[in-house]
Amino acid sequence: MIQDYLNAALKEAKYKTLDNGEWFAEIPGFQGVWANGRTVEECRSELIEVLEEWLILKIRDGDEIPTVEGIEIGVKHEEVA
């Protein structure tokens, strides 16, 4: 499920070449998830790492996580008797 979510989010990534020849990528709706690299492959690899870390922090902090392609990620909070 998490891998499906990550793959769906990565499909939304926007890439562009910067003036210095490096690549920049971000995922709209995922504040703070961006990366850059010398090649598009390096940029994508870094973007994947940033997205994974972002998701872990969102889960840990109980923050809202956007739905992507109908996939929802969240943590159930249940009271323990």
For residue range 8-51, what is the model confidence (pLDDT) as tens digits? Answer: 999 999 999 999 999 999 999 999 999 999 999 999 999 999 99
* The pLDDT of residue 76 is above 90: no
Give DSSP secondary structure letters for 29-70: TSTT-EEEESSHHHHHHHHHHHHHHHHHHHHHHT-----BTT
Would you kindly state where each structural domain of the chain is located, as residue ranges? 2-61
Q: What is the pTM of this model?
A: 0.87
> What fold characterizes domain 2-61?
Double Stranded RNA Binding Domain (3.30.160)
In terms of C-beta density within 10 A (0-12 exposed, 13-18 middle, 19 or more buried), how is residue 48 classed?
middle
* The pLDDT of residue 77 is above 80: no
Identify the pLDDT of residue 78. 72
